[in-house]
Every structure is written in C-alpha cells, then in structure tokens.
Chains A and B, each alone.
Chain A
Amino acid sequence: MMIHHEKDPAAAGAQFEYSYQAEITNVYPLTSAEKLYQVQIIDPDEREGFCFQPGQFVMLEAPGIGEAPFSISSSPIRHGDLELCIRAVGRMTHFLDRMGRGAIVGISGPFGTNFPVEKMEGEDILLIAGGLGIAPLRSPLLAVLENRSRYQRVDILYGARSPSELLFVYEYAVWRQFGVGLDIIVDQAEEGWPGPVGRLTELLQQRIAGGVAADFKQRTSAIVCGPPVVFRFVCDLLIQAGVPMEKIFVSLERRMHCGRGKCCRCNIGSTYTCLDGPVFDYWSVLNLKEAI
C-alpha cells in the first residue's frame, strides 16, 4: 500500500519511486493502431489495495525503455486489474505493441483528479469523446453503468476520423443494453458505414435540440475528452445550452515525466495537470491561460 504525507525522506522515497510490478495478461487489438492492454498488478495484496477513481491515470514503466502516463480505461471495481487503451505512437508504446502478453511492466499511481461520478447521481450523464478521448471516458462510463439506476439518461456522443478507427466497437451492444444512447459520427465514411458523417459538434447540437431544453440545462453533467481542438467548440455549445461550467468536466493531456508534480512538464499557470488535473471543471479551465 502507498503511504502518503510521509515526512522521512527515505520512506517518502520508497513511495516516490515505487512501482508495482504488473503483468500484461491480455492484449486485444482494437484498431490497426490501438490495443487494449490488461495490466494486472502481480502481488494480490497490492492489486486489491490499488484503489482509483474514474479519470485518474497511472505511470506505466517499461524498464530500460521509458515511462509514460496513461489514463485508466477500466472500472474502479476492478482495482489493480487494469485496462489501458494505448495507441502505438512513441518509443514506449511501440515497445508495448511488440512485447504483448506476458511482459512485466511497472505501474505507479493512481495519480490526479477524477470525474466526480458519485456527485453526478440523479443527473443526466453526457459523455462526449473525440478519437482516443474515449479511453479515459470508458472508466466513468463503466462506473455509471454499474450503478445505472442512480442516473437518469446516459448518452455518449463519439466522434472518430473514420469507422475503422472506432474503439471498443464490441462493447457498444452491451452499453446500449444498459440504456445508453450511443451516437457516433465520423469525419470520413468508409464502405458500409450506415451512420452520419460530420463533426462531433453536430451530434451535440442534435442532442441539445432533441431533449427538453430546461431539462438539458438543469440535469446534465458532461464529461468531455478528446484532442485539444474538441474542447472549446464542444464546451462552448454546452455553455450556450445553459449547462453550468461547474458541471462540465474535461480531461487534459500534457507531457509528463513524473506524475507527482515534480518534473514541471505538465504545468499550466499555477496548476500541475498531474496533481490538479487531469480532470478539471470548465470554470477552472477558463481561468488557466493556454489550457485549451
């Protein structure tokens, strides 16, 4: 177990550089670029003691190769039996791509702030994802679905570049069984794509127009994840529709080398994305220069 607020530097250090040894127990290809990695903390006590909240991230370390932050895509009830959705894009992620099942990696964390899904009980949940943004969003989604009766409407608006880049396709039927409204839009259609083509904001406009306006602004809690370009347009639409800024949550991405507020690489203004984020409400984001 991790011990926080430790004064003795030696003991504090055991925590600072401590990583759980974890095994990649399964790898599921999701698209040509992304895979879902099941990463299980090996020690059963450590695995059980690993508690996180949806929206938090871990630092994943491949000894000798590198260390990088990844948001957790699995449900919090699975503790240290994690699922990470990873796109092979850099040295570290290409290594994972090659190693696959059986590799032993290091996990430290969980780090950062979370989506307050418990505070959202009784509300309509609107999850908006662009591209790989669905990865951090799947954890709060699963947490909501596990307590489905405590929430009103649950809708996902998901935009991807093309149908073949859609993630978690095999789960859509399950999500819908739980009464999730799942609307997908792509930038470019491919053969056989039956759905709409266009921008994520179009889906949001439809969702806003499709409901009762008063309900939408009073009952909606929104979670938005995606590339930087998504945030401003999506959040502006939500605010125009009357959703309070304090009920719009975004997850920001920044370069990180420590996850512990020490390397300063993820600094925005007075905040560290790793400590004060990655989840921010939109009011906080507006007060940070160059956050989005």
Chain B
Amino acid sequence: MLFKVFPKEELSRLYTLLAPDRIIGPLTKGRDQHGHPLYDFAVSRNFAELRLDYGQTLHSLKNFFLPYREDLCSFSFPKDGSGNWHKEVDYGAFVPLVFFGLHPCDINALNKLDKVLLEGRYPNPFYGAKRAKAFIIGHSCTPQPFCFCRSMGTDTVLRGFDLFLTPLDEVYFAEIASSRAFHLLEQLSCREPNDHEHRRYRQQITTRESLFEAQVETSDLTKILDLEFQAPVWQEWGRKCLSCGTCAQVCPTCYCYGVEEKVDMDFTRAHKEKMLYSCNLLDFASVSGGHNFRPQSHTRLKYRYYHKHRGFVEAFEESLCVGCGRCGQSCLAQITVPEVIASVRASGGNE
C-alpha cells in the first residue's frame, strides 16, 4: 500500500477533479424526532454539502449497484403474426460513479457482494458493469453505538477502494490503492507522511477501536446456529418480526430478488423486471402449487440469520453481515442482530 498526506483544504480540489463523473456522497436528508441529522447517500452537486463526519446513512449504497427495480431485458414483438420476439439486454450502467466518503463496512459489503455476484460460473453483468465503473473513496468513521463491525471483522478494509482517507489534525492520511487515485493525488499538493504522522495514524486506529460499544460473539457461531436450530427463542423473535422486509432493503449485502414480466399497453413490447426482495416476506420460498417451504414468520427470520451467519460462512469462510447495524436501526419491531445472536447463544447454555 502507498501512503500520502495532503492538507485538508485540498479535499475540495479532489472533489472538483472528480466532478465530471457523478459523485455520490453522504448528505443530510432531514432530522429525526430528537433533532439529530439523518444521512443518506445521494448524488452530490457541490463539495460543501458532503457530510464526511456522518455517523451512518439510513440506507446502504446498494441501490447504486443493485437498483431496487431494474429491467433485466425487454422484448419486442413484431406485428407480422409470426409469434416471434426479439430480446434486448441493457445493463443499466450509464455514467461512471464516484463514491465519496464510504465507511469500511460499506466497502466490505461490496467486496462480499462481489463474491456472490461476480465470482463463480455466472457473473452478474448488471452488477459487474456498475461495479467496474465505480471509483471509491473511503473515509474513516466514528463508531456509532449500534455498530458491531468490529465483531464481524469489517471495521477495517484492505481492498475494494481506490483511496482511503483518515483525517489527522490538519491533513488527510491517504491510502492509495489504484493508479487512478495515484495520478489524482499527483494533482494535489501531496507529500510522503512523516514519522509523526505515522504515529498519529496508528494512535487514531487505537482510539477508534476503543469506541465500539455493540458487539456480537462470533466464535463457533456456525456450530451454535446448527445446534440451536430448533431453539424456542427463534419463535419468540418470529412473534416480534413483522415480516416487512425492511431489514433486507437497508442491508448493504442482501441481494435476493424476484422477477416480474410486464407487457406494454399496445402489446408491442414487454419487460422483465427484477425487484429486490426479502427472505422475510411471506412468499419468499413458496412454489407453484401452493407449497411454502417457510410459511411461518420465525422460519423466515431464522433463515435470514442462517444465510448471513452460517450458510455464507460455509461457502466463503466469512460472514455476509458487515455489522453496520442498519437493520436494527430501521426495524419497526426493534429486532437487532446483537440481541438475536446473544439470545440464541444463551438458549443452549441456560439448561
């Protein structure tokens, strides 16, 4: 990894250099009932509106890569009576996107999505085309009370970004991970970090580590989840869960979808549309003929935990959860990951 430092006021110049592409960053979207600002990722028009000191955004940046609704293909039907049709595919990657100020959890989330969506036999080009056009600038964060990324090993990030910035007093300490980022920094008044800045950077890491409050005990979690598959505590969570799917919509790593085909009013065209779904929704695992493999709320909630914390671990040796805490923050039934996992871990030990 290459490291550089540059004066803080230079950051607006970096923004200007990238401005020909569309810049997505954390913006203030409103205030909650306590008057605290609510943040979300959105298209930014000027540097001043970026809120790089944001705690956490309401939504992940998932919908820039996996839009909530997206056409997978369209069909045209020539009016020659042949019954023939023509299929067109558009990946929906229009302009290069710059992501300005992503926290390690969200960059790690993209890295995890890459494993499912880009590796293996059928890489998903809709995701891949958008991913290939993204320029990512990470920014260090201040842990929020609900963040448990440190438990999930996603509080730091080693790859998946072009540039990662940590503010130190009057300078930004920059980790450079791509040649494009390297050449951009050449246009700023950059220099090598000195010994003092190395020490300050490492102090900053230690200070940040001490700020985490929420945690999830992950040791032997895959085995415990298997052992406690029938634990009654799942049914208690199932009774609380509203099966609304909000957790999946705000989750940076949930990627499941459903497909609908729609015919235009004049019957000359049709679209195959994908929409992000949620395993908590009632018909997630229902099949033709009426059988539903997970008819009860608790079986669906349990499945969600099994996929994130067990199934994905078995396939990729890491959890699909990045510990961003958004699902718990947005859950109308106030179900949080640390509480659910703690209760499942406890259910075996209380006998």
Contacts and interface: CB of A to CB of B under 8 A. Distances in A.
Interface residues of A, number: 51
Given A64-B75, A257-B259, A265 B132 contact: no
A6 interface: yes
Interface stretch (A75-83, A102-110, A141-149): A102-110
A258 B73 CA distance: 13
Most chain B CB neighbours (cut-off 10 Å) among A67, A68, A270: A270
Nearest to B307: A267
Contact of A103 (B73, B83, B262): B83
Contacts of B145: none
B205 interface: no
B293 A254 contact: yes
Interface stretch (B6-14, B20-28, B113-121, B166-174): B113-121
B329 interface: no
A9 B123 contact: yes
B333 interface: no
A19 B87 contact: yes
Given A4-B121, A16-B125, A227-B291, A263 B89 contact: no
Nearest to A264: B256
Interface footprint category on B: 35 or more
A255 B286 contact: yes
Contacts of A192: none
Q: Is the interface of A mostly helix, strand, loop or mixed?
A: loop
Contacts of A62: 261
Contact of B306 (A16, A87, A269): A269
A227 B290 CA distance: 12
B233 to A, nearest CB: 16
Contacts of B315: 270-271
B270 A63 contact: yes
B237 interface: no
B68 interface: no
26 contacts: A6-B123, A12-B128, A16-B124, A21-B85, A61-B272, A63-B261, A64-B262, A66-B261, A87-B288, A89-B289, A104-B83, A104-B85, A227-B291, A253-B287, A254-B287, A258-B257, A258-B259, A260-B121, A261-B121, A262-B117, A264-B255, A264-B257, A265-B258, A265-B285, A267-B256, A271-B311
Interface of B: 72-73, 75, 77, 82-85, 87, 89, 91, 116-117, 120-126, 128-129, 132, 226, 229, 255-263, 270, 272, 274, 277, 279, 284-289, 291, 293-294, 299, 303, 306-307, 310-315
- Sorted nearest first, the 9 A-B pairs with minimum C-beta distance are A13-B125, A64-B270, A264-B256, A270-B314, A260-B122, A9-B128, A63-B75, A270-B311, A64-B263
